[in-house]
């Protein structure tokens, strides 16, 4: 007899035999659990409810924490996050021991972290942000980084991470921009697959060495109106299907993500946490998702007290449960009510069994019942190992984007610039030391930050006034006056772009201009008549029009990790050749939004009065210290039958005098469709390495799915007609050929 369990077994990446054993264990365990114990497997609480160690190193738990876990618990968020890896492993072992021994069935808990710069915990390797990784256009490198993240997290006793984000970000007002992989559906899909595959150890590592990914925020979160956290999302069903959902589908079907987190927001008025079509019909029935779904923080409760789609907490709990929400994160007012609600309405029990079973299955897949404990020695050895730090540096180097290099200012020549000033509000305390280590004795440095951008209040930061910045600005100019060239560190930081938490923080911004006195500092430095090289650090896209026009060179570093300044120095001095490309379109002003390159083509009909139109920098743009020449774009056929594939080949030559990497990008344009089509869409890319004078011919397979869209009849298919293939170095620099689908 065909059942849901056998279907899960058939689709499991573990193979039918292993999957069948796990399904049998889940059914057996559920059959022995009380209703309260099942519902306990549908809740995650935070370790700050009262998990600590006393002076003798013994575990201390608050009465409130004990009350929350008395029937067991699905998981604990961030236990040991402020401790060293080995201490975290020890604390987590003690906590897990308590939970297992105080569970009637010995059920371990999932320990959950986040991963925006590597594992979000003390003593781990500090990698750059996801937006940096997207700028590398190097999925294999991203997979290796997240593989290390998974290993470091598991070694300290963690089992899941609420990462990565599969959201598209097309509004730089949104403070969480740097947590994403950019604006483009295909690029984000490839990066998310790389991240999930890496952190999960290609799925098979889940049983011992890696952790499970919770891909988020499902779905449309990056499209909040006005770029404001918690705002509504208005997006057509067609754009949702063709643009927003594919990265999540790739995470589920290609990377086998173990978890999915729902979006804070709504989709055209339907709250995502109460959206059965999204969480059940699409996610499970269409895509075959086999993991568990988890709410974003408190969002099941917010169905009542924020989104106002439920009359009370009882109704909010029922809406979430029936829609397909398995786990209630943090909230203590909703899913805790399910035992009483199910006692009155026994039709809820199968839904509770399904939700609790999804969580238990994840725990079996993670091998927690066999070995719920971590190794302190392994935690010490894996975290921040020499190979991990080298990987962090490699990742930084691969993601740096050269936006401008007037008159070949870069790489810097020690003979022409024997003394260099490092100045600006984004200068870090260790920047000087990292530059000195790279340059050695060949260059003398002077460093002066000058001023900060804000008062440093993480929740409600105040921008410093020009008067407050003036003394530091003058110091920075004086430092630069004594040097032969200046590296200016400007942009934004963790106080000017961040998550706007629900009640007590802001993080979104209505402008994308450089804040405070940064432009004034740039003008003063240019007036010195010496080269000014901008090192741009930021968490959101910035409109840097004056810098783009007047700076001698601009190196875009986005928001780097601990190896970032070393990578910047190596690149500025020519030890590394920049190869990053923009994962977003850079507008000239906030007034151009929306401005992603793949908008409907009719959106580009008109510009605005009194300004130069077009982007400041296009999607996919990035220079090098060498030059690349594209030629001989060929298609394998000029006409193909609907449903057939073809290929495109092109020859790329390194025509400069340095070795370098180039990102070859393939875009598809559908000139005529039954619906208004995007101007173009990225469909494939490849990063290649070429020595000076070397040429390489590469081929791209163009599969039917790359041509498909949701037509006027709301059916996704390939429509007959002409298509244009564009292959080049950015979304605006390319060769093109046409073919026809008949």
Question: How does pLDDT run across 263-274, given as a tens digit for each residue?
Answer: 999 999 999 999
For the chain, the straight-line distance linking the first and the last C-alpha, in angstroms and rounded, comes to 43
Peptide bond into 411 cis (omega under 30): yes
The CA-CA-CA angle for residues 306, 309, 314, to 5°, reads 90
pLDDT (average), residues 418-437: 98
Q: What is the DSSP letter of 679?
A: S
Q: Is the pLDDT of residue 16 over 80?
A: no
Q: Is the pLDDT of residue 447 over 60?
A: yes
Q: Is the pLDDT of residue 2 over 50?
A: no
Which of 126, 141, 195 shows the shortest CA–CA distance to 661? 141
Whether the model pTM is above 0.85 = yes
Could you tell me whether strands 721-728 and 716-717 are parallel, antiparallel, or unpaired per DSSP bridges? unpaired
Instruction: Quickly tell me which residue has 């906030």 as its tokens.
Output: 590
* Segment 546-581, tens digit of pLDDT: 999 999 999 999 999 999 999 999 999 999 999 999
* Segment 581-615, tens digit of pLDDT: 999 999 999 999 999 999 999 999 999 999 999 99
pLDDT classification of 5: cutoffs 50, 70, 90:
low
pLDDT classification of 17: cutoffs 50, 70, 90:
confident
Range 400-604 has CATH code 3.40.50.1220? no
Contact at 8 Å (CB) between 447 and 374?
Answer: no
* Segment 708-725, tens digit of pLDDT: 999 999 999 999 999 999
Q: Residue 180: phi, psi to the nearest 5? A: -105, 175
Token representation of residue 12: 């499991």
pLDDT classification of 56: cutoffs 50, 70, 90:
confident
Percent of the chain with pLDDT over 70: 99
Ordered by start, the domain boundaries in the chain are: 33-382, 400-604, 628-741
Q: Residue 726: phi, psi to the nearest 5? A: -120, 125
pLDDT (average), residues 668-682: 96
Instruction: Please tell me the predicted confidence (pLDDT) of residue 1.
Output: 39
Q: Is the pLDDT of residue 71 over 70?
A: yes
- Domain 33-382 - what CATH class? alpha beta
Which of 277, 284, 289, 323 shows the shortest CA–CA distance to 303? 323
Instruction: Please tell me the predicted confidence (pLDDT) of residue 6.
Output: 55
Identify the three-state secondary structure at position 238: helix
Instruction: Please tell me the predicted confidence (pLDDT) of residue 501.
Output: 85
Instruction: Quickly tell me which residue has 């077994």 as its tokens.
Output: 9
- Domain 628-741 - what CATH class? mainly beta
Contact at 8 Å (CB) between 295 and 329?
Answer: yes
Q: In this predicted structure, which of 86-90, 143-147, 455-459, 683-687 has the lowest mean pLDDT?
A: 455-459
> What is the rounded average pLDDT for all residues in the chain?
96
Give the chain's radius of gyration (CA, Å): 26
In this structure, the number of other CB atoms found within 10 A of the CB of residue 49 comes to 18
Identify the three-state secondary structure at position 229: coil
Instruction: Please tell me the predicted confidence (pLDDT) of residue 35.
Output: 97
């Amino acid at each position: 007899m065909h059942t849901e369990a056998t279907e899960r077994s058939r689709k499991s990446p573990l193979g039918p035999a292993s999957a069948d054993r796990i399904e049998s264990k889940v059914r057996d365990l559920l059959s022995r659990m009380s209703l309260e114990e099942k519902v306990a497997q549908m809740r995650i609480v935070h370790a700050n409810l009262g998990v600590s160690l006393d002076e003798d190193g013994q575990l201390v738990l608050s009465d409130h924490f004990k009350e929350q876990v008395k029937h067991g618990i699905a998981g604990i968020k961030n236990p040991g996050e402020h401790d060293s890896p080995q201490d975290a492993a020890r604390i987590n072992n003690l906590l897990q021991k308590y939970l297992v021994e105080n569970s009637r069935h010995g059920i371990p808990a999932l320990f959950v972290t986040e991963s925006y710069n590597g594992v979000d915990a003390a003593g781990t390797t500090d990698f750059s942000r996801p937006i940096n990784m997207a700028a590398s256009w190097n999925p294999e490198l991203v997979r290796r980084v997240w593989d290390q993240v998974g290993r470091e997290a598991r070694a300290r006793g963690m089992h899941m991470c609420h990462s990565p984000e599969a959201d598209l970000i097309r509004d730089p007002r949104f403070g969480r921009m740097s947590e994403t992989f950019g604006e483009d559906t295909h690029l984000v899909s490839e990066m998310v697959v790389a991240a999930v595959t890496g952190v999960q150890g290609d799925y098979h590592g889940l049983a011992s060495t890696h952790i499970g990914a919770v891909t988020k925020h499902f779905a449309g979160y990056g499209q909040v109106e006005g770029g404001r956290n918690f705002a509504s999302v208005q997006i057509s069903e067609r754009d949702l299907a063709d643009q927003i959902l594919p990265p999540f589908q790739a995470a589920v079907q290609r990377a086998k993500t173990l978890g999915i987190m729902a979006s804070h927001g709504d989709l055209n008025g339907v709250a995502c946490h109460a959206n059965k079509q999204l969480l059940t019909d699409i996610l499970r029935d269409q895509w075959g998702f086999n993991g568990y779904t988890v709410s974003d923080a408190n969002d099941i409760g917010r169905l009542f007290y924020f989104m106002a789609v439920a009359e009370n907490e009882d109704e909010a709990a029922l809406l979430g449960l029936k829609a397909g929400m398995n786990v209630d994160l943090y909230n203590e007012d909703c899913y805790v009510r399910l035992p009483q609600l199910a006692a009155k309405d026994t039709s809820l029990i199968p839904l509770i069994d399904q939700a609790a079973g999804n969580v238990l299955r994840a725990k079996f897949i993670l091998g927690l019942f066999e070995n719920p404990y971590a190794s302190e020695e392994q935690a010490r050895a894996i975290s921040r190992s020499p190979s991990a730090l080298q990987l962090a540096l490699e990742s930084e180097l691969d993601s740096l984007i050269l936006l401008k290099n007037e008159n070949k200012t870069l790489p810097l020549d020690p003979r022409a610039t024997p003394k260099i000033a490092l100045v600006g509000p984004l200068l870090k305390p260790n920047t000087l030391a990292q530059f000195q280590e790279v340059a050695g004795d060949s260059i003398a440095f002077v460093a002066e930050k000058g001023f900060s951008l804000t008062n440093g209040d993480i929740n409600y930061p105040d921008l410093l006034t020009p008067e407050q910045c003036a003394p530091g600005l003058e110091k920075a100019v004086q430092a630069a006056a004594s040097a032969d060239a200046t590296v200016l560190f400007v942009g934004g930081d963790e106080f000017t772009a961040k998550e706007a938490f629900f009640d007590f923080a802001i993080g979104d911004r209505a402008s994308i201009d450089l804040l405070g006195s940064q432009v004034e500092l740039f003008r003063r430095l240019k007036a010195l008549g010496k080269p000014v090289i901008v090192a741009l650090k930021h968490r959101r896209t910035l409109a840097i029009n004056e810098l783009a026009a007047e700076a001698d060179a601009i190196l875009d570093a986005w928001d780097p990790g601990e190896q970032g300044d070393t990578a910047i120095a190596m690149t500025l001095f020519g030890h590394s050749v920049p190869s990053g490309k923009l994962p977003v379109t850079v507008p000239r002003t906030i007034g151009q939004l929306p401005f992603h390159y793949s908008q409907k083509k009719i959106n580009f009909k008109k510009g605005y009065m009194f300004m130069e139109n077009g982007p400041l920098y296009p999607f996919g743009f990035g220079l090098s210290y060498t030059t690349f020449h594209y030629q001989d774009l060929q298609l394998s056929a000029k006409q193909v039958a609907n449903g057939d594939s073809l290929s495109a080949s092109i020859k790329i030559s390194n025509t400069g005098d340095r070795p370098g990497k180039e990102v070859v990008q393939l875009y598809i344009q559908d000139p005529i469709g039954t619906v208004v089509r995007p101007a173009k869409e990225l469909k494939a890319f490849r990063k290649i390495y070429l020595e000076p004078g070397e040429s390489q011919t590469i081929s791209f397979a163009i599969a039917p799915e790359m041509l498909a869209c949701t037509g006027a009849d709301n059916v996704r298919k390939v429509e007959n007609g002409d298509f244009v293939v564009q292959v080049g170095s950015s979304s605006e620099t390319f060769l093109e050929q046409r073919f026809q689908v008949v």
